[in-house]
Structure 1
């Protein structure tokens, strides 16, 4: 009389059942993390995260600082009197009333690893409307950026461009974007 043999599919199913049951038994012995308080600081680091495992919805508002970004983008909106309207800067811009110079500084926590050395600056003066003759209801404003390598800030100089092409220093509101 012949002994019954197990078919290959039965053997595979049996091995799979044993592996699955054993895996469950091991997992049941481990603690399950139910709160962020159960994780020590710096235990879960970037190399331990799978690609796309954390999306924007999982990050708390302001949970990632500009310094954590490889290429931070910082924004300012400055009033003509030098006061900060809105922006990523902690504190007020430096400005001497009556001058066309504005000093904008960032803290080291605002900047990426290279500071401002790899950043591009864009400054756009806001329209200043006028009823003076020879203007199309607004003054033509210009803004220039001065940055010194290694600095944690930069200067903005604002000018009114006259009809003859000359420029005169003038206070002006502006928006600035610094892309690193």
Structure 2
């Protein structure tokens, strides 16, 4: 067992993990932050996206010990302290960018990373960026609309793809 300590959603946390413990498992099982989902365990679906030291990371591909000393942000840390949704979360709600909700935490975290680096992305840039996130329900149209709205842009129509 190895000791790990990190800051998760602004709070110092620590624990004992095996060297093979994935970050997603530490977050879900040890810290009980179950908003980060396990969809594939192969880095294909993006349901486990979190931010580590400000960068989007698929938590199923990172060991918890690799995050030792890091700043980690999960979907649980995106809303304000008073429970008010973030701009991106609100846009997903307003534009129906979710259906079953399983992929939504990863989509929101990926969108936040995209908008951090590219505050006014085009539809094509959003589609390219979300290539590593799979949604089996929405067809992506409303997700793209939500991200465009969160960036302060409106889209009258999105091409069917």
Given the two structures, how large is their TM-score scaled by the length of structure 2?
A: 0.28
The structure where strand makes up a greater share of residues is 1
Greater helix share, structure number: 2
